[in-house]
Structure 1
Amino acid sequence: MHLKRILVLPLLLIAALAHADPLRLQALHEFRSEGFEAGTYLLIDNNLYERVREPGNREIYNTSLRRMDALLRQMNNPGDLRPLYNDLVALIRELENMPEDQAHYSLATVNRIMMAHGKLENAAAELYNTEAADAPEDLLALHRQSIETHRILLLYQNNMFSSVGVYFLPSKEGIFDELDARIHAGSGELKRLLPEHEATFEQLDKQYSFIQPRLINHHADWVPTIAAFYLSKNTQTLDELSREKANLAEANAGTP
Protein backbone atom coordinates (compact mmCIF):
# COMPACT_ATOMS: atom_id res chain seq x y z
CA MET A 1 0.00 0.00 0.00
CA HIS A 2 2.82 2.35 0.91
CA LEU A 3 4.61 1.57 -2.39
CA LYS A 4 1.46 2.33 -4.38
CA ARG A 5 1.20 5.70 -2.69
CA ILE A 6 4.82 6.49 -3.57
CA LEU A 7 4.17 5.61 -7.22
CA VAL A 8 0.93 7.57 -7.45
CA LEU A 9 2.34 10.86 -6.15
CA PRO A 10 4.77 11.45 -9.07
CA LEU A 11 2.00 10.60 -11.52
CA LEU A 12 -0.28 13.16 -9.92
CA LEU A 13 2.51 15.72 -10.09
CA ILE A 14 3.09 15.01 -13.79
CA ALA A 15 -0.64 15.33 -14.46
CA ALA A 16 -0.75 18.65 -12.66
CA LEU A 17 2.20 19.96 -14.63
CA ALA A 18 0.58 18.89 -17.90
CA HIS A 19 -2.31 21.29 -17.37
CA ALA A 20 -2.11 24.77 -18.80
CA ASP A 21 -0.95 27.54 -16.51
CA PRO A 22 -3.67 30.15 -17.15
CA LEU A 23 -1.58 33.12 -16.03
CA ARG A 24 1.39 32.14 -18.18
CA LEU A 25 -0.94 31.51 -21.11
CA GLN A 26 -2.47 34.93 -20.55
CA ALA A 27 0.98 36.52 -20.50
CA LEU A 28 1.87 34.82 -23.78
CA HIS A 29 -1.40 36.00 -25.28
CA GLU A 30 -0.89 39.57 -24.11
CA PHE A 31 2.65 39.51 -25.50
CA ARG A 32 1.21 38.60 -28.91
CA SER A 33 -1.56 41.16 -28.54
CA GLU A 34 0.91 43.94 -27.76
CA GLY A 35 3.04 42.84 -30.72
CA PHE A 36 0.11 43.32 -33.06
CA GLU A 37 -0.66 46.68 -31.49
CA ALA A 38 2.94 47.79 -31.99
CA GLY A 39 2.91 46.65 -35.62
CA THR A 40 -0.39 48.38 -36.31
CA TYR A 41 0.65 51.76 -34.99
CA LEU A 42 4.12 51.55 -36.50
CA LEU A 43 2.50 51.13 -39.92
CA ILE A 44 0.12 54.01 -39.23
CA ASP A 45 3.07 56.15 -38.17
CA ASN A 46 4.84 55.42 -41.46
CA ASN A 47 1.78 55.47 -43.69
CA LEU A 48 2.32 57.69 -46.73
CA TYR A 49 -1.40 58.46 -46.84
CA GLU A 50 -1.05 60.33 -43.55
CA ARG A 51 0.33 63.75 -44.40
CA VAL A 52 1.20 64.63 -40.81
CA ARG A 53 3.06 62.27 -38.52
CA GLU A 54 1.09 62.18 -35.27
CA PRO A 55 3.33 61.81 -32.18
CA GLY A 56 0.64 59.72 -30.51
CA ASN A 57 1.18 56.82 -32.90
CA ARG A 58 4.81 56.47 -31.90
CA GLU A 59 3.85 56.71 -28.24
CA ILE A 60 1.35 53.88 -28.65
CA TYR A 61 3.71 51.45 -30.34
CA ASN A 62 6.51 52.25 -27.90
CA THR A 63 4.14 51.64 -24.99
CA SER A 64 3.35 48.24 -26.48
CA LEU A 65 7.06 47.49 -26.86
CA ARG A 66 7.64 48.33 -23.20
CA ARG A 67 4.79 46.06 -22.17
CA MET A 68 6.21 43.26 -24.30
CA ASP A 69 9.56 43.67 -22.57
CA ALA A 70 7.89 43.50 -19.15
CA LEU A 71 5.93 40.40 -20.16
CA LEU A 72 9.10 38.68 -21.35
CA ARG A 73 10.73 39.38 -17.99
CA GLN A 74 7.63 38.10 -16.21
CA MET A 75 7.81 34.86 -18.22
CA ASN A 76 11.60 34.52 -17.82
CA ASN A 77 12.22 35.01 -21.55
CA PRO A 78 10.70 31.79 -22.89
CA GLY A 79 11.96 30.12 -26.06
CA ASP A 80 13.55 32.42 -28.62
CA LEU A 81 11.27 35.35 -27.90
CA ARG A 82 13.87 37.64 -26.32
CA PRO A 83 16.34 37.71 -29.25
CA LEU A 84 13.48 38.01 -31.74
CA TYR A 85 12.02 40.87 -29.72
CA ASN A 86 15.42 42.55 -29.56
CA ASP A 87 15.73 42.28 -33.35
CA LEU A 88 12.33 43.94 -33.77
CA VAL A 89 13.17 46.80 -31.41
CA ALA A 90 16.58 47.37 -33.01
CA LEU A 91 15.00 47.78 -36.45
CA ILE A 92 12.38 50.16 -35.10
CA ARG A 93 15.08 52.28 -33.46
CA GLU A 94 16.99 52.28 -36.74
CA LEU A 95 13.92 53.70 -38.47
CA GLU A 96 13.28 56.24 -35.72
CA ASN A 97 16.87 57.49 -35.89
CA MET A 98 16.67 58.29 -39.60
CA PRO A 99 16.22 61.91 -40.67
CA GLU A 100 12.52 62.73 -40.91
CA ASP A 101 12.39 63.06 -44.69
CA GLN A 102 14.33 59.83 -45.18
CA ALA A 103 12.42 57.82 -42.58
CA HIS A 104 9.05 58.65 -44.08
CA TYR A 105 10.02 56.93 -47.32
CA SER A 106 12.16 54.10 -45.97
CA LEU A 107 9.77 51.32 -46.89
CA ALA A 108 12.61 48.79 -47.06
CA THR A 109 13.19 49.28 -43.34
CA VAL A 110 9.45 49.10 -42.64
CA ASN A 111 9.39 45.81 -44.54
CA ARG A 112 12.25 44.45 -42.43
CA ILE A 113 10.41 45.52 -39.28
CA MET A 114 7.26 43.70 -40.33
CA MET A 115 9.31 40.64 -41.22
CA ALA A 116 10.81 40.73 -37.71
CA HIS A 117 7.34 41.08 -36.22
CA GLY A 118 6.17 38.09 -38.25
CA LYS A 119 9.01 35.93 -36.94
CA LEU A 120 8.28 37.03 -33.39
CA GLU A 121 4.53 36.45 -33.71
CA ASN A 122 4.98 33.01 -35.26
CA ALA A 123 7.39 31.97 -32.50
CA ALA A 124 5.06 33.29 -29.79
CA ALA A 125 2.07 31.56 -31.40
CA GLU A 126 3.96 28.27 -31.45
CA LEU A 127 4.80 28.61 -27.76
CA TYR A 128 1.22 29.57 -26.98
CA ASN A 129 -0.16 26.54 -28.81
CA THR A 130 2.13 24.14 -26.95
CA GLU A 131 0.97 25.54 -23.61
CA ALA A 132 -2.75 25.84 -24.37
CA ALA A 133 -3.60 22.18 -23.70
CA ASP A 134 -6.45 21.81 -21.19
CA ALA A 135 -6.87 25.58 -20.87
CA PRO A 136 -10.43 26.75 -20.14
CA GLU A 137 -12.51 26.96 -23.30
CA ASP A 138 -13.76 30.46 -22.57
CA LEU A 139 -10.22 31.75 -22.03
CA LEU A 140 -9.06 30.30 -25.34
CA ALA A 141 -12.09 31.77 -27.13
CA LEU A 142 -11.36 35.25 -25.78
CA HIS A 143 -7.73 34.96 -26.85
CA ARG A 144 -8.72 33.71 -30.29
CA GLN A 145 -11.15 36.57 -30.88
CA SER A 146 -8.57 39.13 -29.81
CA ILE A 147 -5.92 37.71 -32.15
CA GLU A 148 -8.30 37.43 -35.12
CA THR A 149 -9.31 41.07 -34.61
CA HIS A 150 -5.66 42.10 -34.42
CA ARG A 151 -4.94 40.13 -37.59
CA ILE A 152 -7.61 41.77 -39.71
CA LEU A 153 -6.57 45.20 -38.44
CA LEU A 154 -2.87 44.69 -39.12
CA LEU A 155 -3.63 43.15 -42.50
CA TYR A 156 -5.68 46.24 -43.33
CA GLN A 157 -2.79 48.52 -42.37
CA ASN A 158 -0.36 46.27 -44.25
CA ASN A 159 -2.35 46.56 -47.46
CA MET A 160 -1.60 50.27 -47.67
CA PHE A 161 2.03 49.38 -48.38
CA SER A 162 2.49 47.72 -51.75
CA SER A 163 6.16 47.05 -51.00
CA VAL A 164 5.69 45.69 -47.46
CA GLY A 165 5.02 41.98 -47.16
CA VAL A 166 2.60 40.15 -44.89
CA TYR A 167 4.57 37.92 -42.55
CA PHE A 168 2.31 37.25 -39.56
CA LEU A 169 -0.04 34.87 -41.38
CA PRO A 170 -0.17 33.16 -44.78
CA SER A 171 -1.48 35.71 -47.27
CA LYS A 172 -3.94 34.37 -49.82
CA GLU A 173 -6.92 35.32 -51.92
CA GLY A 174 -9.99 36.01 -49.80
CA ILE A 175 -8.10 36.33 -46.52
CA PHE A 176 -10.11 39.38 -45.41
CA ASP A 177 -13.38 37.50 -45.90
CA GLU A 178 -11.97 34.50 -44.06
CA LEU A 179 -10.87 36.57 -41.07
CA ASP A 180 -14.19 38.40 -41.08
CA ALA A 181 -16.08 35.09 -40.98
CA ARG A 182 -13.92 33.86 -38.10
CA ILE A 183 -14.59 37.05 -36.14
CA HIS A 184 -18.34 36.67 -36.62
CA ALA A 185 -18.16 33.00 -35.60
CA GLY A 186 -15.99 33.91 -32.61
CA SER A 187 -18.54 36.42 -31.41
CA GLY A 188 -21.26 33.78 -31.46
CA GLU A 189 -19.02 31.37 -29.58
CA LEU A 190 -18.25 33.95 -26.89
CA LYS A 191 -21.94 34.70 -26.37
CA ARG A 192 -22.55 30.98 -25.92
CA LEU A 193 -19.64 30.45 -23.52
CA LEU A 194 -20.02 33.68 -21.55
CA PRO A 195 -23.70 34.68 -21.64
CA GLU A 196 -23.18 36.97 -18.65
CA HIS A 197 -21.08 39.22 -20.92
CA GLU A 198 -23.49 39.22 -23.86
CA ALA A 199 -24.08 42.99 -23.63
CA THR A 200 -20.32 43.57 -23.85
CA PHE A 201 -20.03 41.32 -26.89
CA GLU A 202 -22.96 43.09 -28.54
CA GLN A 203 -21.08 46.36 -28.11
CA LEU A 204 -17.96 44.82 -29.64
CA ASP A 205 -20.08 43.60 -32.55
CA LYS A 206 -21.43 47.11 -33.05
CA GLN A 207 -17.94 48.62 -33.11
CA TYR A 208 -16.68 45.94 -35.47
CA SER A 209 -19.70 46.31 -37.78
CA PHE A 210 -19.06 50.04 -38.05
CA ILE A 211 -15.59 49.54 -39.52
CA GLN A 212 -16.12 46.14 -41.20
CA PRO A 213 -17.19 47.48 -44.64
CA ARG A 214 -13.93 49.44 -44.86
CA LEU A 215 -11.94 46.33 -43.98
CA ILE A 216 -13.60 44.20 -46.64
CA ASN A 217 -13.45 46.93 -49.31
CA HIS A 218 -10.00 47.95 -48.21
CA HIS A 219 -8.94 49.44 -51.54
CA ALA A 220 -11.90 51.82 -51.72
CA ASP A 221 -11.19 54.22 -48.88
CA TRP A 222 -8.32 54.17 -46.40
CA VAL A 223 -9.18 55.00 -42.78
CA PRO A 224 -6.15 53.63 -40.90
CA THR A 225 -6.52 55.65 -37.71
CA ILE A 226 -10.28 55.16 -37.40
CA ALA A 227 -9.96 51.42 -37.98
CA ALA A 228 -7.26 51.16 -35.32
CA PHE A 229 -9.29 53.23 -32.87
CA TYR A 230 -12.36 50.99 -33.00
CA LEU A 231 -10.68 47.62 -33.31
CA SER A 232 -8.06 48.36 -30.65
CA LYS A 233 -10.91 49.16 -28.27
CA ASN A 234 -12.30 45.70 -29.04
CA THR A 235 -9.02 43.89 -28.46
CA GLN A 236 -8.43 45.80 -25.22
CA THR A 237 -11.85 44.76 -23.92
CA LEU A 238 -11.28 41.14 -24.93
CA ASP A 239 -7.87 41.13 -23.24
CA GLU A 240 -9.31 42.62 -20.05
CA LEU A 241 -11.96 39.90 -19.97
CA SER A 242 -9.41 37.16 -20.60
CA ARG A 243 -7.20 38.57 -17.83
CA GLU A 244 -10.12 38.27 -15.43
CA LYS A 245 -10.78 34.70 -16.60
CA ALA A 246 -7.13 33.73 -16.25
CA ASN A 247 -7.00 35.08 -12.70
CA LEU A 248 -10.20 33.23 -11.86
CA ALA A 249 -8.91 29.99 -13.37
CA GLU A 250 -5.69 30.33 -11.39
CA ALA A 251 -7.61 30.96 -8.17
CA ASN A 252 -9.87 27.97 -8.80
CA ALA A 253 -6.87 25.76 -9.56
CA GLY A 254 -5.46 26.58 -6.14
CA THR A 255 -8.72 25.83 -4.34
CA PRO A 256 -8.75 22.38 -2.75
Structure 2
Amino acid sequence: MKKLLMFLAVVFTASAFAQSQEVVYESIYLIPEKANEMKLIEGVKKHNDKFHSEGRSTASLYNVLIGRRSGQYVWLLGPMELSDYDAMPDEVHMLDWQKNIRNNVSSESVQLGKLNWEASYSPPSWGSPKYLLHRTIKINRKYGSYEKVLEAVTKIGKVLAQINAPNPRRVYESIFANENGENITLVYPFKSFTRFNDGNGLPANFQSEYEKVNGLGSFRRDVWDVLSEFSDGFSDEVLQLVN
Protein backbone atom coordinates (compact mmCIF):
# COMPACT_ATOMS: atom_id res chain seq x y z
CA MET A 1 0.00 0.00 0.00
CA LYS A 2 1.54 3.28 -1.07
CA LYS A 3 0.94 5.05 2.15
CA LEU A 4 -2.20 5.74 3.83
CA LEU A 5 -3.63 7.16 5.06
CA MET A 6 -3.00 6.82 8.16
CA PHE A 7 -2.71 9.11 9.35
CA LEU A 8 -3.23 12.47 11.40
CA ALA A 9 -5.64 14.03 13.81
CA VAL A 10 -8.51 12.63 11.79
CA VAL A 11 -7.00 9.13 11.82
CA PHE A 12 -7.54 8.92 15.52
CA THR A 13 -11.20 9.81 15.36
CA ALA A 14 -11.50 6.19 14.31
CA SER A 15 -10.85 5.29 17.95
CA ALA A 16 -14.44 6.30 18.60
CA PHE A 17 -15.68 3.56 16.29
CA ALA A 18 -16.54 0.13 17.60
CA GLN A 19 -13.65 -2.16 16.81
CA SER A 20 -15.90 -4.36 14.72
CA GLN A 21 -16.87 -1.46 12.47
CA GLU A 22 -15.36 -1.01 9.04
CA VAL A 23 -12.96 1.95 8.85
CA VAL A 24 -11.69 3.03 5.43
CA TYR A 25 -9.61 6.01 4.34
CA GLU A 26 -9.12 7.49 0.90
CA SER A 27 -5.70 9.02 0.28
CA ILE A 28 -5.10 11.27 -2.71
CA TYR A 29 -1.46 12.14 -3.36
CA LEU A 30 -1.12 15.55 -4.98
CA ILE A 31 1.94 16.86 -6.84
CA PRO A 32 1.67 20.65 -6.62
CA GLU A 33 2.48 23.08 -9.37
CA LYS A 34 5.29 24.84 -7.54
CA ALA A 35 4.16 28.29 -8.63
CA ASN A 36 0.72 27.51 -7.18
CA GLU A 37 1.67 25.68 -3.98
CA MET A 38 0.16 28.26 -1.63
CA LYS A 39 -2.95 28.39 -3.82
CA LEU A 40 -3.25 24.63 -3.42
CA ILE A 41 -3.05 24.83 0.38
CA GLU A 42 -5.60 27.64 0.45
CA GLY A 43 -7.79 25.83 -2.08
CA VAL A 44 -7.85 22.61 -0.05
CA LYS A 45 -8.91 24.56 3.02
CA LYS A 46 -11.75 26.22 1.10
CA HIS A 47 -12.87 22.89 -0.36
CA ASN A 48 -12.70 21.07 2.98
CA ASP A 49 -14.55 23.83 4.83
CA LYS A 50 -17.35 23.61 2.27
CA PHE A 51 -17.66 19.85 1.75
CA HIS A 52 -15.51 17.94 4.28
CA SER A 53 -15.73 19.56 7.70
CA GLU A 54 -17.56 16.89 9.73
CA GLY A 55 -18.70 13.29 10.01
CA ARG A 56 -17.54 10.52 7.73
CA SER A 57 -16.68 13.01 4.98
CA THR A 58 -14.05 14.77 7.13
CA ALA A 59 -10.81 15.48 5.25
CA SER A 60 -7.33 16.72 6.17
CA LEU A 61 -4.22 17.80 4.26
CA TYR A 62 -0.70 16.53 4.96
CA ASN A 63 2.67 17.48 3.53
CA VAL A 64 5.21 14.71 2.84
CA LEU A 65 8.32 15.94 4.67
CA ILE A 66 10.60 12.91 4.35
CA GLY A 67 10.64 10.01 1.89
CA ARG A 68 10.50 9.34 -1.81
CA ARG A 69 7.50 11.62 -2.31
CA SER A 70 8.87 14.58 -0.35
CA GLY A 71 7.23 17.80 -1.48
CA GLN A 72 3.92 16.15 -2.35
CA TYR A 73 0.70 16.54 -0.39
CA VAL A 74 -1.78 13.94 0.84
CA TRP A 75 -5.49 14.70 1.00
CA LEU A 76 -7.01 12.22 3.43
CA LEU A 77 -10.75 11.46 3.61
CA GLY A 78 -12.36 9.47 6.40
CA PRO A 79 -13.03 7.51 8.49
CA MET A 80 -15.71 6.09 6.22
CA GLU A 81 -17.09 2.75 5.02
CA LEU A 82 -16.78 1.29 1.56
CA SER A 83 -20.48 1.88 0.98
CA ASP A 84 -19.82 5.62 1.30
CA TYR A 85 -17.64 5.38 -1.78
CA ASP A 86 -20.71 4.50 -3.85
CA ALA A 87 -22.08 8.00 -3.32
CA MET A 88 -19.81 9.86 -5.72
CA PRO A 89 -19.53 13.68 -5.45
CA ASP A 90 -22.07 15.67 -7.46
CA GLU A 91 -21.26 18.19 -10.18
CA VAL A 92 -21.07 21.16 -7.81
CA HIS A 93 -18.64 19.26 -5.60
CA MET A 94 -16.42 18.25 -8.53
CA LEU A 95 -16.40 21.76 -9.99
CA ASP A 96 -15.16 23.05 -6.65
CA TRP A 97 -12.45 20.34 -6.59
CA GLN A 98 -11.40 21.39 -10.09
CA LYS A 99 -11.26 25.07 -9.17
CA ASN A 100 -9.54 24.85 -5.81
CA ILE A 101 -7.38 21.73 -6.10
CA ARG A 102 -6.97 20.18 -9.54
CA ASN A 103 -6.05 23.50 -11.16
CA ASN A 104 -3.09 23.75 -8.78
CA VAL A 105 -1.57 20.27 -9.19
CA SER A 106 0.22 18.42 -11.98
CA SER A 107 -1.09 14.98 -11.00
CA GLU A 108 -3.10 13.09 -8.41
CA SER A 109 -3.22 9.41 -7.44
CA VAL A 110 -5.72 7.60 -5.24
CA GLN A 111 -5.42 4.74 -2.75
CA LEU A 112 -7.98 3.15 -0.44
CA GLY A 113 -6.88 1.59 2.82
CA LYS A 114 -8.83 -0.38 5.41
CA LEU A 115 -7.94 -0.37 9.10
CA ASN A 116 -7.08 -3.80 10.51
CA TRP A 117 -8.35 -3.58 14.07
CA GLU A 118 -6.81 -6.87 15.23
CA ALA A 119 -3.29 -5.93 14.10
CA SER A 120 -3.49 -2.34 15.36
CA TYR A 121 -2.82 -0.89 18.78
CA SER A 122 -4.69 2.21 19.94
CA PRO A 123 -4.37 3.50 23.51
CA PRO A 124 -7.67 4.98 24.72
CA SER A 125 -6.29 8.51 25.03
CA TRP A 126 -3.31 9.93 23.23
CA GLY A 127 -4.16 13.29 21.68
CA SER A 128 -3.81 14.69 18.18
CA PRO A 129 -0.53 14.00 16.37
CA LYS A 130 1.30 16.66 14.39
CA TYR A 131 3.34 14.10 12.47
CA LEU A 132 2.86 10.59 11.09
CA LEU A 133 5.46 7.99 10.25
CA HIS A 134 4.17 5.76 7.45
CA ARG A 135 6.12 2.51 7.21
CA THR A 136 5.12 0.48 4.17
CA ILE A 137 6.16 -3.17 3.93
CA LYS A 138 7.11 -4.47 0.48
CA ILE A 139 5.63 -7.96 0.38
CA ASN A 140 7.30 -10.35 -2.05
CA ARG A 141 5.61 -12.79 -4.44
CA LYS A 142 6.23 -16.02 -2.56
CA TYR A 143 3.16 -18.12 -1.88
CA GLY A 144 1.49 -17.10 1.38
CA SER A 145 3.70 -14.03 1.87
CA TYR A 146 0.85 -11.64 2.60
CA GLU A 147 -0.62 -13.85 5.31
CA LYS A 148 2.77 -14.47 6.92
CA VAL A 149 3.65 -10.77 7.06
CA LEU A 150 0.22 -9.81 8.40
CA GLU A 151 0.52 -12.50 11.09
CA ALA A 152 3.88 -11.07 12.20
CA VAL A 153 2.50 -7.54 12.29
CA THR A 154 -0.51 -8.73 14.31
CA LYS A 155 1.70 -10.46 16.88
CA ILE A 156 3.55 -7.17 17.42
CA GLY A 157 0.24 -5.38 17.96
CA LYS A 158 -0.83 -7.87 20.62
CA VAL A 159 2.40 -7.38 22.57
CA LEU A 160 2.10 -3.58 22.32
CA ALA A 161 -1.29 -3.95 23.99
CA GLN A 162 0.01 -6.32 26.67
CA ILE A 163 2.81 -3.95 27.71
CA ASN A 164 0.58 -0.86 27.50
CA ALA A 165 2.94 0.84 25.06
CA PRO A 166 2.69 4.65 25.19
CA ASN A 167 2.21 5.30 21.47
CA PRO A 168 -0.40 4.02 18.99
CA ARG A 169 0.35 1.97 15.90
CA ARG A 170 -2.30 1.58 13.23
CA VAL A 171 -2.20 -1.08 10.49
CA TYR A 172 -3.82 -0.42 7.12
CA GLU A 173 -4.33 -2.86 4.26
CA SER A 174 -4.75 -1.75 0.67
CA ILE A 175 -8.17 -2.62 -0.66
CA PHE A 176 -6.79 -2.79 -4.19
CA ALA A 177 -3.45 -4.51 -4.72
CA ASN A 178 -0.33 -2.50 -5.47
CA GLU A 179 1.91 -3.80 -8.24
CA ASN A 180 5.01 -3.40 -6.05
CA GLY A 181 3.64 -5.41 -3.15
CA GLU A 182 3.21 -2.31 -0.98
CA ASN A 183 -0.08 -3.44 0.50
CA ILE A 184 0.42 -3.12 4.27
CA THR A 185 1.25 0.20 5.92
CA LEU A 186 2.02 0.81 9.59
CA VAL A 187 1.12 4.29 10.84
CA TYR A 188 2.96 5.68 13.87
CA PRO A 189 1.85 9.11 15.11
CA PHE A 190 4.33 11.31 16.92
CA LYS A 191 4.50 14.82 18.34
CA SER A 192 8.26 15.51 18.25
CA PHE A 193 11.24 14.22 16.28
CA THR A 194 13.01 13.66 19.60
CA ARG A 195 11.06 10.42 19.74
CA PHE A 196 13.60 8.93 17.34
CA ASN A 197 16.42 9.31 19.85
CA ASP A 198 15.33 5.96 21.31
CA GLY A 199 13.90 4.07 18.36
CA ASN A 200 12.29 4.23 14.97
CA GLY A 201 8.67 3.24 15.36
CA LEU A 202 8.43 0.56 18.04
CA PRO A 203 9.20 1.42 21.69
CA ALA A 204 12.77 1.23 22.95
CA ASN A 205 13.68 -2.30 24.11
CA PHE A 206 10.59 -3.73 22.42
CA GLN A 207 12.41 -6.89 21.37
CA SER A 208 13.14 -7.82 24.98
CA GLU A 209 9.55 -7.03 25.96
CA TYR A 210 8.29 -9.22 23.10
CA GLU A 211 10.46 -12.12 24.28
CA LYS A 212 9.21 -11.77 27.84
CA VAL A 213 5.76 -12.54 26.45
CA ASN A 214 6.62 -15.09 23.74
CA GLY A 215 9.89 -16.66 24.85
CA LEU A 216 13.60 -16.27 24.16
CA GLY A 217 14.36 -15.95 20.45
CA SER A 218 10.70 -15.41 19.55
CA PHE A 219 11.20 -11.93 18.08
CA ARG A 220 13.67 -13.21 15.53
CA ARG A 221 11.52 -16.25 14.78
CA ASP A 222 8.17 -14.44 14.59
CA VAL A 223 9.24 -11.12 13.09
CA TRP A 224 12.72 -10.80 11.59
CA ASP A 225 12.85 -14.25 9.99
CA VAL A 226 9.34 -13.81 8.56
CA LEU A 227 10.05 -10.35 7.16
CA SER A 228 13.38 -11.53 5.74
CA GLU A 229 11.76 -14.41 3.88
CA PHE A 230 8.44 -12.92 2.84
CA SER A 231 9.18 -9.23 2.25
CA ASP A 232 11.68 -7.06 0.40
CA GLY A 233 12.10 -4.64 3.28
CA PHE A 234 10.12 -1.48 3.93
CA SER A 235 10.17 2.23 3.19
CA ASP A 236 9.36 5.21 5.41
CA GLU A 237 7.66 8.53 4.84
CA VAL A 238 7.00 11.28 7.39
CA LEU A 239 3.87 13.41 6.99
CA GLN A 240 3.10 16.73 8.66
CA LEU A 241 -0.42 18.02 9.24
CA VAL A 242 -1.12 21.19 7.24
CA ASN A 243 -4.85 21.71 7.83
Q: In which range does the TM-score fall when normalised by the shorter chain?
A: under 0.3
Normalising by structure 2, what TM-score? Answer: 0.27
Larger RCO: 1 or 2 (CA < 8 Å, sep 6+): 2
TM-score by length of 1: 0.26
Q: Point out the structure with the larger helix share.
A: 1
In terms of fraction of residues, the more strand-rich structure is 2
